[in-house]
Structure 1
C-alpha cells in the first residue's frame, strides 16, 4: 500500500510541480493515474518508487516496488540482465555450479536456484526467447525494451508494480499480454497511461491536476461519466453567470440613463426657480456624487461577475476552448487515389510480406494499416508517399496534397518559433493578429509565440500542427497518421480525435490503439503478415 501525506516536489530549478499532495492506495488495489502532460504523473511514480525524494511530506509504503519507466535510454549501456538487476544472481549461480561455493556467492544467490529458468520462461512469454540475458539493451527496439522490463515482473515477483505508459511501442500481441497481466495480477498495481483500453482494467482512477489528486472509484468509463456530470454542471453554471453578467450590464446602463435624465430634469427646475449660484453648485455636486455612487455600485457588481466568469472559463476542458475543423478536401468522394497490384518490398533479397499486397484506396475512405512490430507498416506508407518504390508489383497514386504526421512530428521545424512555424502554413496572407488568434484557440497564448518549437512536448507539437493545418486554406486530400497517440496524454488524444473527425478527406492510420481507431472510424484495414 501507499500513503502520501502533504507531499510536495520541486524541480531542480526550484519550480514547484505539486504541493501538499495526499494519497492513499490500499494493498492489492489496481489504480490508474491520469492527468494532462506536465501534471507530474511520471514524477509521482518515481517518488513512489523511491527514485526521487519529495521536497516535503512523507511517503509510506509496504514492500519494494517494481518500477517500469516510460523511457529506457539510461539503460542502453547495460545488458538485459544488468537492466533487470539479476546479473549478480546469474553470475553467482554460474560460479556455484562451477564449484565456487563461497559465502559471498551463496549470499548473492540467496537460494534463488531457479533464477535462470524463471528468466528464460519470462522472456519466452513476452516473445524475447531469441535474446540472451547478455544482449545489450541498446540493440532492442522500443517495444522489445518494454517487454524485457515487463518480463522482469515474473522474474522478481514483486508486491507492488508501477508502470509508466507501458503500452507505448507495444504491438497488438504485446498489448494483449499486458492487459492479461493487469487483469490477473493480485498485487498492488499503479499505472500511468493514456491507453483507454488499458484504463478500463483498473478499479480506481486518480486524476492529478493543479488542484491535487481526485479519486474516482471506478474504471475509465466511470471516470468519464463523472467528469461529464461535472462538465455539464460547469457549462450550466457558465451559462447562468453569463446571463447574470448581461443582466447586470443592462441594469447598469438603464440605471445610469435614468439617473442622467433625473439630473437633467432637476437642473432645469433649479434654473427656472432662480436659485443663487452657490445653491445651484451644491445641488450639482450632490447630483454628481449620487451618480458616481450609483455608477460605482454597478461597476463593482459587473467587475465581480466578470472576474468570476473568467475564473470559471479557466476551468473549462481545454478542448472546449478550441475551434477545430478543416476546409473540405477538394477531391470528390469515391475517386481512386491509390492502386496497388501485387506489391512487395525486399530487404537484402528477402521479401517483406509472405504474400504480395493488392488493394485500392478511394477518396473519403478511412482505413487502418495493421500488423505486428516489424511487419512493414511504415515501409508501406513510404511507398504510398512515393519515397520508395516496391521491389515487385506496381503502385500508382492519384492523391494530390498529402500530409504525413509521424511519431516525431517531423513537419515541425524545431529551429523555428511557434509563431514562425504557423506562418509557414499561411498561404492566404492572413494578418499577424489573425494567426495569433488561431494559435490562442489551440492554447498557444502570448508566452508561447516566441518559444522555439524544440521546447514543445509531443502533445504541444501535435496541437501546433493541427493549428497550422487549419491555417492552410487548402485542406489535404489525404492525411496519414503513424502511431499518432504514442506519448500523447488523454487530453491531447481527445483533441486529435476531434480534429480528425472534423476532417472529410481520406484518412490512413497506423496504430495499435484500437480505441482510437474506432473513435476516428478507421474500421477498414490492410493487414500485413
Structure 2
C-alpha cells in the first residue's frame, strides 16, 4: 500500500528535518505516527500527500492519499464544496439535471451521479445538518471544519487517509463518531495525534525520532509499556555508567597518589646516595613524565565514560529531566472563591446560552472539569469566573484571589520578548540572574535558547516556558484555569503538563475534550453545560 525508502527532507531555511527514513504499510493497516515536536510528523504527512517534495528518497503508493489538515487557515475563504474539491462535479450535476447536454459538463461529472446524495449523507452522519455545501468555511467553528473534512472521506472513498490531529477541535460527540469510524473502517489510516484514546484504537505505532522510524506492533498502551521497558534499561545503563565513572576517578586518584609517593621515596634515596645534580634533574623529569602519562591515560578513560554518560542522560524523556517548583497557595482549603446564583448569559440580542439558569460554587483546593459540547458556553462561564464578563441574570460573588488563565495557544506569553526577558517579567521575587538561568535549565531551556524570541517557540516550548514563569513568581497562583491546554502539544509535552499540574496544589479549573488528560490530572468534580 505504502512504501517509503531512504526519505530525507530539509526545510527551505536549510534545517534538516529527517534523514534516510523508511516505512512500509500494508493495505488496511491503521497506524499512529508519534514523536516529539519538531521531529517532522506533519511534514511526513505532507510529503506522503504530495504537498511537499523530498530532498532524497522515494514514496510509493497505489492509492491517492486523502488528507485532513490540522490548520484550516488556507481553506477559510472556500466554500465547503470547494474545500472538499467537489464543487465542479456538483455544478455539472445540477446543470445536467436542469437540461444542459454539453459534453464538457458530462466529462466534469465523470458519471458520479450519486455525488449530491453522498454529500448529504456524509454531512448528516457528521452532525452537519445545518451546514450547506455553499457555506464558507470561515463561518464554521473549528469542530465543524474538522467534520467537513471527515465527511469528505465518505464522499471520496479513498484507500489511504492521513489524519493530522483530527480530534483537536471535536467535542465528546464528535470524538465518538471519529472513534467509531476508525474502529470500523477498512481503509489504510495514518494518524498524527496526542489523543491517547484515539491512539489506542490503532494496530501499530511508528515513532519518528532522530534515529529514524521505529515500529511497535500494538496500540499506544503497548507502545508505552515497551517504552517503559526501554526507559528502565536506559536508567540501568545510566546507573552502571555512573558507577564506572566514579570507579575510574577513584582509580585515577589512587594511581597518581601512588606515583607521587614512589617519586618522593625515589627522590629521597637519590639525595641520600649523593646522585649528581644533572642526574637528579633527569630522574625528576622522568618521574614527572610518568605521572603526566598516567594522568593522560586515566583522563582519556574518564572523558570517554563521561561522554557516554552525557549521551545516555540526554536520551531520557524530557519529563525525567525537569524539576517543578510550585509553592503552596496561601488560601486555606475550602474557602469559597466563586459563587454564582441563577446566572445566564446571551451575546447581543441572541437567546440565553443555558436552558436553566446556573448555580455554581467553587472552593479553594478543588480540581474541577467543565464539560459540554461545542457552543454550550464553557468559555463564557470561564470568562464569568475570571470576572471578564457580567451575566445578564443572577448574581456573582468573587473572592480576592490570584488567578492565571492558560489557553491552548499560551497567549499569556509576550511574543515580543526573548525567553529570558519573558521569565524576568514574572520575576516578582527578585531572583538573581544566575537563579533565573538555573530555573530555565530546569525547564529544558539551555543557554542557546535564552535569547530566542517567544514567537518562534513551538506549542510544547511555550507551555514549558509559561510553567517556568508561574514557578518563578513570589507565590503560586491561587487558581489555574486551563482552556483546552493540550490541543497544540505532542504526547511527551502532554505528559510534562500533566506532571506539572499534579505538582500544583492550588485550585484547578479545566476545560478539555481530552478524557485521558482530565483523568490523569485527578479532577474531583465536573460542571456540565
Is it true that 1:416 corresponds to 2:417 in the alignment? yes
Aligned to 2:388: 387
Give 1:399 deviation, angstroms: 4.7
Aligned to 1:58: 58
Query: Quick one: structure 1 residues 94 and 116, their matched pair in 2 at CA, closer, same or farther if it must change by over 3 Å?
Result: same
Distance across 1 between alignment mates of 2:86 and 2:366: 50
Aligned to 1:444: 445
Aligned to 2:91: 91
Give 1:101 deviation, angstroms: 2.0
Aligned to 2:184: 184
**SS of residue in 1 equivalent to 2:181:** helix
**SS of residue in 1 equivalent to 2:177:** helix
Is it true that 1:4 corresponds to 2:40 in the alignment? no
Aligned to 1:13: 13
Distance across 2 between alignment mates of 1:271 and 1:42: 76
Does the 8 A contact of 1:399 with 1:477 survive in 2? Answer: no
Does the 8 A contact of 1:399 with 1:478 survive in 2? Answer: no
**SS of residue in 2 equivalent to 1:31:** strand
Aligned to 2:428: 427
Give 1:167 deviation, angstroms: 0.4
Please give the per-residue CA displacement for 1:5-48, whole angstroms capped at 9, x wherever unaligned: 10111111222111111110111000000111111001100111
Moved over 3 A (4+): none
108-117 or 223-232, larger mean C-alpha shift: 108-117
* Structure 2 counterparts to residues 262-411 of structure 1, below 5 A: 262-347=262-347, 348=349, 350-411=351-412
Distance across 2 between alignment mates of 1:286 and 1:113: 97
Aligned to 1:457: 458
Give 1:349 deviation, angstroms: 5.1
**SS of residue in 1 equivalent to 2:471:** helix
**SS of residue in 2 equivalent to 1:43:** helix
Does the 8 A contact of 2:344 with 2:392 survive in 1? Answer: yes
Please give the per-residue CA displacement for 1:394-431, whole angstroms capped at 9, x wherever unaligned: 12122511111012212101111110100111111111
**SS of residue in 2 equivalent to 1:471:** coil
Please give the per-residue CA displacement for 1:143-201, whole angstroms capped at 9, x wherever unaligned: 11101000000111111111000001111111111111111100101110011111001
Aligned to 2:47: 47
Distance across 1 between alignment mates of 2:107 and 2:412: 55
Q: Structure 2: which 5+ residue stretches go unaligned?
A: none
Does the 8 A contact of 2:326 with 2:476 survive in 1? Answer: yes
Does the 8 A contact of 2:343 with 2:357 survive in 1? Answer: yes
Does the 8 A contact of 1:338 with 1:399 survive in 2? Answer: no
Distance across 2 between alignment mates of 1:282 and 1:38: 60
Distance across 2 between alignment mates of 1:436 and 1:489: 25
Distance across 2 between alignment mates of 1:234 and 1:165: 30
Give 1:278 deviation, angstroms: 2.2
Aligned to 1:126: 126
Please give the per-residue CA displacement for 1:271-325, whole angstroms capped at 9, x wherever unaligned: 0111112221222122112111111111111111111111111111111111013
TM-score when normalising by structure 2: 0.98
Distance across 1 between alignment mates of 2:408 and 2:308: 40
Aligned to 1:226: 226
Does the 8 A contact of 2:32 with 2:205 survive in 1? Answer: yes
Question: Root-mean-square deviation (CA), in Å?
Answer: 1.0
Does the 8 A contact of 1:517 with 1:523 survive in 2? Answer: no
- Number of aligned pairs? 528
Does the 8 A contact of 1:78 with 1:136 survive in 2? Answer: yes
**SS of residue in 2 equivalent to 1:504:** coil
**SS of residue in 1 equivalent to 2:255:** helix
Aligned to 1:107: 107
Distance across 1 between alignment mates of 2:26 and 2:234: 32
Does the 8 A contact of 2:409 with 2:488 survive in 1? Answer: no
Aligned to 1:506: 507
* Structure 2 counterparts to residues 443-522 of structure 1, below 5 A: 443-522=444-523
Does the 8 A contact of 2:354 with 2:376 survive in 1? Answer: yes
TM-score when normalising by structure 1: 0.98
Distance across 1 between alignment mates of 2:295 and 2:51: 59
Give 1:472 deviation, angstroms: 1.2
Does the 8 A contact of 2:2 with 2:24 survive in 1? Answer: yes
Please give the per-residue CA displacement for 1:76-103, whole angstroms capped at 9, x wherever unaligned: 2211001101111101101111111222
**SS of residue in 2 equivalent to 1:509:** strand
Please give the per-residue CA displacement for 1:378-400, whole angstroms capped at 9, x wherever unaligned: 11011111111111111212251
Query: Quick one: structure 1 residues 232 and 488, their matched pair in 2 at CA, closer, same or farther if it must change by over 3 Å?
Result: same
Q: Structure 1: which 5+ residue stretches go unaligned?
A: none
